[in-house]
Structure 1
Amino acid sequence: MMLFWERGYEGTSMADLTHVMGLNPSSIYAAFGDKRALFQLVAKRYMELRAQYAVKALEEPTLERFTRALFDNTVAFLTTPGHPPTCMTLAGAVGCSLDATPARDLMTAIRKQNQVALRERLLKARKSGELPKEINVDDYTRYLSTIVAGLSIQAANGSTKAELKRTAQMALRHLGY
């Protein structure tokens, strides 16, 4: 997982995988299928084990607490020692060649699933009266997703935890929190 996360789908070769996993290529193919199948398993594991920061935020009872937790959890995740300073769904398959279209499509599907969960949380806020009716839920969903993705890009660019926190705080102020 770490190799795909650090290098992306295309940047990770079978030779890299055999070295890190301590297996020969035939054992990897026998156990996981091809590189694409292994990447799919890795993406699933990443979502289940590592990328729970947004899921935890969704559990917050109010829109403000959810939004604060979303940004705080994202910054904490991106600056966790021992893993790359970016989200695998962004770095894993963005800018892939046509040969890697399935990997790119998988990462896109995961990001879209995340947006659906975010949209559902915003609809809940609309029903409770926390999100004004004049705010377009789809636009707001894309806006929050863009901020979270932007934090990931800035982390990959080398922004520090303090810088990311200040960026998140600025976004919160612009959102009225």
Structure 2
Amino acid sequence: MEKKRTSPVGRPRGFDADEALERAMLFFWRHGYEGAGTAGLAKAMGISTTSMYAAFGNKEQLFRRALERYTEGPSAYLARAVEEPTALGVATAVLAGAVRTTTRPSHPHGCLGVSGALTTSHSGEEVRDLLVSWRDNGYCCLKQRFERAVEEGDLPADSDPGLLARYVTTVAYGIAVQAASGVCREELQELADAALRAWPLR
């Protein structure tokens, strides 16, 4: 009796999805959302465009995945910074993290969340709005942390947590822009140190 053949349930993907997503994140980081064409993305990821769409969806969906990876990886310093015991420690850690992340020799300079889609065509508006929300989330995290610092007496009672959060995020994003322009890490750290000298003390 002839043995019945069984078909495989599914073909193996044939590539490391985690590595491909890492490469996509770096490509978006380097070129921005609209500057990253699908053919260039697929090539950078080491896969075909067909495989890219099958595994990650369309370009916007891929960007969202890449931004999540960026948030949990290179930009994770913000989540760690808010755990610092003092408000000054939080601000110091945020700015040091911004300097470190935006000037790594092995990574694109600048910040994916800042320069990824500042200006876009109509088709990129959802990604632009996504990054606006991403930046606003960072601001809100710091604002809440500084509100706690006021309640605990770590910051003067007349401090404005919202203004302080805006100050820190503005300096951090400015650091990212300067890093993308080629300003060196040492100079950017000096800038961060100068910004912190204006920090309110109890």
TM-score by length of 1: 0.94
Moved over 6 A (4+): none
Amino acid at match of 1:144: V
User: Is the contact between residue 99 and residue 189 of structure 2 (CA under 8 Å) also seen in structure 1?
Assistant: yes
Within 2, Cα distance between the matches of 1:112 and 1:54? 13
Amino acid at match of 2:125: T
Paired residue for 1:92?
A: 116
Within 1, Cα distance between the matches of 2:88 and 2:163? 17
Paired residue for 2:88?
A: 64
The equivalent position to 1:19 in structure 2, one of 38, 43, 50, is 43
The share of aligned pairs that are identical, in percent, is 36
- Comparing 41-50 and 62-71, the one that deviates more: 62-71
Paired residue for 1:156?
A: 180
Determine if the alignment matches structure 1 residue 74 to structure 2 residue 98: yes
Paired residue for 1:52?
A: 76
Within 2, Cα distance between the matches of 1:38 and 1:72? 29
Amino acid at match of 2:33: Y
- Comparing 158-167 and 18-27, the one that deviates more: 18-27
- Comparing 42-51 and 16-25, the one that deviates more: 16-25
Displacement of 1:136 in angstroms is 2.0
- Comparing 23-32 and 42-51, the one that deviates more: 23-32
Paired residue for 2:142?
A: 118
Within 1, Cα distance between the matches of 2:85 and 2:31? 37
Q: Deviations over 1:102-149 (max 9, x none)?
A: 111111111111111111110111111122232222222111111111
Unpaired segments of 5 or more residues in structure 2? 1-24
- Comparing 134-143 and 80-89, the one that deviates more: 134-143
Q: Deviations over 1:128-172 (max 9, x none)?
A: 112223222222211111111111111111111111011011101
Within 2, Cα distance between the matches of 1:146 and 1:27? 39
Within 1, Cα distance between the matches of 2:87 and 2:160? 15
Within 2, Cα distance between the matches of 1:75 and 1:28? 32
The equivalent position to 1:32 in structure 2, one of 56, 68, 74, is 56
Within 1, Cα distance between the matches of 2:32 and 2:125? 13
Matched pairs, number: 177
Amino acid at match of 1:49: G
User: Is the contact between residue 144 and residue 161 of structure 2 (CA under 8 Å) also seen in structure 1?
Assistant: no
More helix by share: 1
Unpaired segments of 5 or more residues in structure 1? none
Paired residue for 1:135?
A: 159
- Partner secondary structure for residue 125 of structure 1: helix
Amino acid at match of 1:97: S
Within 2, Cα distance between the matches of 1:121 and 1:137? 8
Within 2, Cα distance between the matches of 1:133 and 1:98? 45
Displacement of 1:176 in angstroms is 4.8
Within 2, Cα distance between the matches of 1:158 and 1:139? 29
Within 1, Cα distance between the matches of 2:154 and 2:46? 52
TM-score by length of 2: 0.83
- Comparing 106-115 and 70-79, the one that deviates more: 70-79
Larger Rg: 2
- Comparing 4-13 and 22-31, the one that deviates more: 22-31
Paired residue for 1:146?
A: 170
RMSD between superposed Cα atoms in Å: 1.3
